[in-house]
Structure 1
Amino acid sequence: MIGCLCIHGFTGGPYEVEPLANYLREKTDWLIETPTLPGHGETLQLKGITYDRWFRAAEEELQKLMEECETVYVIGFSMGGVIAAYLATKYRIDKLVLLSAAFYYVNPRQLLKDMRNMIRDGLRRKLKENPLFVRYKHKILFTPITAVLEFRKLVSQVRPRLPDVHIPVLIVHGKEDGIVPIKSAHYLYENVGSPLKKLCFLPSSHHHVCHGPDREQLFKEVEAFLKGNI
């Protein structure tokens, strides 16, 4: 049996990867798991949560999947991509998919563009209709600074381990991402140790690529990569 572990991002939840997970469920008979990391989900409770708990939770989910499946793929979104890369250095994973992986954080140029759009919508009294405002308002209010520092520690722990990733890797990034800059994707491509790696940019997507306008392209890219011979 084939298993696939999908890991969501910082301050997010399984909903971030659910469209891709559902697509793979429809197209395959694989066992697809989308766990919730400690402190995450629809209600954020990140105070007092340390980064090692996110590592441990992901490892436990992977170990359970490996007990049931001979072949295991891991897909990670944003911070989940950092955790997925970490897992690939410790366990015998078969393939790795990194979506908007957050090895760098905040794209200043795109963020300013997004903020201008929010201000414009605010002046038009349409701020509540702005999808980025809706998505990030709740996160900003309920994310303690200590959690942000733990996230940064997590990234600093994984960066030096990237040369130890030797399995096939698909790196996907939205060109309109205002949260994680495109240089993060290039950094990954240059530093992962695997000679079998592919870099894919989605022309119209922001950070949440599984929900973006290029999601059908994303789904097909991931399906082809996981089913292919690379």
Structure 2
Amino acid sequence: MKIHPSQEQLIQYCEGTLSDVDGFTIALHLEQCSECKAKARELEAQCANLLFGAEVDSGSHTNDSTVMNEMLDAITALESSTQIQQDVYQVKHAIIRTPNGKEFVLPKALSRHVERIGDWKNYGGKVYSASVDLDTQARVNLLYINEDAQVPQHTHKGEETTVILHGGFSDEDGHYHAGDYLTRDASHKHAPFTQAGEDCLCLTVLTEPMIFTQGVARIFNLFGKGMYP
């Protein structure tokens, strides 16, 4: 594992200011990354110290009210975050079976939504996707890339976040392993692929459709909207 969320993302996660889907992807990464999990605990402690150590200016009743409201909002956010983490901790790991019959154990953050995972659909060749209905405008999918397979080269109208759950894949920029947290946008073009004897299960979040940049897959761009997996 070599690619992690940024320090700013971890801070926002601990403060409870990320969107639900971004917080979800961070939680998936934290289950697999002891380094980021330790950082998150430190940041949560720092947030708590800042929150309860805040000094209220007694010279202005208006400021008092504003500060107290902000503190109450922060406390509520921290309590909500803590409750979510406790709920995830109590969930049992679910198992998902891929189209080729291989079984994978899902992280607890995803296992709690296992009933929201749709059926596998062939994405072309040895690549399959299953939607995850998280009641968000972003498109969330499980993506399974069988061994010795490739996703057509593409870029993005919006942002793509990928958390590798099992196995690994490569693209033009390098090789990625389980736990890696990747973000791609319109400035990136890549064609993820697996090698012989290697497959990959990952979760992807797309805020906008993909735009294919090579080969016959570009026909999907003719509709003017790109394509979701």
Quick check: TM above 0.5?
no
Greater helix share, 1 or 2?
1
Higher RCO (C-alpha under 8 Å, 6+ residues apart): 1
Under a length normalisation based on structure 1, what TM-score does the superposition of the two structures give? 0.28
* Structure number with bigger Rg: 2
